[in-house]
A and B are shown apart, each in its own frame.
Chain A
Amino acid sequence: MAMADLIVKERSAAIGVVTATDEVPVFASGDRIRIKNRTPIGHYRVPHYLRGKLGTVDQVIEPVAVDNEEEGYGRNAGQRLHYYRIVVPLTEIWADYVGAAQDGLYIEVYETWLERIP
């Protein structure tokens, strides 16, 4: 979780302030996630080669951003959630990957495309 959010969250809790649902990020740096394997109709900025893959949250991207995918169709205009910088090992994406085990793919993914895994 970005340091700023952590501080806001802690300060809010300390004085009994309840934050709105989407005000603070759902995921934090280090969380294990799966990029959802959805195939909605339209142009979605989550490349197919990453759908269903397992990764880790590297960083929360600030500030919150509008959901382009809904906004593009005029639905739910104005909803804002976080993007997260996700890292997926290249060996997780390509079974026959040639390279070092630590090589990774970094990408920003919107909150609606992520699910937490244990």
Chain B
Amino acid sequence: MSGQHNDDHGHDHDHPHAEVGATGRPGYYDMLETAVRELLIEKKYFSAGEIRRQIEVLDSRTTALGGKVVAKAWADPEFKKRLLANGRAACEELGISFYDDTQLIVLENTDRVHNLIVCTLCSCYPRPVLGLPPDWYKAKPYRARAVSEPRAVLAEFGTTIPDAVEVRVHDSTAMVRYLVLPMRPAGTDGFTEAQLAELVTRDAMIGVIPANNPEGARV
């Protein structure tokens, strides 16, 4: 990623910026979206306020929620049992609602099984718990290769899975969403749930990397 210009960076350095905001004509699909949205509002299927509200719902979902779920599962064996038995109900216990009517299956990584999530057809993702998926998750190379050469894909993320460990690729395409419960890192015995949650990254909950070790964490 180094050398690339990231629009989300801080503004404590001095260099010229591209103009913020769209200056060209909207694209075909932008216009299509606007036209359909305006028609649906005009026909009173829903209001502009409801759309704005739904954007707030989506914006409130971030990786931090998933991190809390994982940390609680590591710290509380009874919660972990409930989470593995019914992911959605256990998340709802923590106040994480499932606005999109999906169920959630939580997949536990162990020293014998490594789980990886992909949606080959589009971008199905556990949005209620993780928010929006990263761009690479939606891009065709990941979608095609995660199901055909998962071990090579994992190796590119720096994750080498021994042959004795079973790789399970979960193609999330219909009614159920998936969340990986990574293995709890060693050396975290006295950690609080908040400290544990710091070790859990988005990529670990997709299954492309393990949870961070405490040394590398911002504790």
Contacts and interface: CB of A to CB of B under 8 A. Distances in A.
A61 B103 CA distance: 9
B103 A49 contact: no
Contact of A99 (B167, B170, B173): B167
A104 to B, nearest CB: 5
Interface residues of A, number: 27
Interface residues of B, number: 23
B166 A100 contact: yes
A105 interface: yes
Interface in A19-49: 45-47, 49
A94 B148 CA distance: 7
Interface in A89-106: 90, 93-94, 97-100, 102-106
B190 to A, nearest CB: 36
B20 interface: no
Interface of B: 103, 105, 120-121, 147-152, 163-171, 173-176
Interface of A: 45-47, 49-50, 61, 65, 68, 83, 85, 87, 90, 93-94, 97-100, 102-110
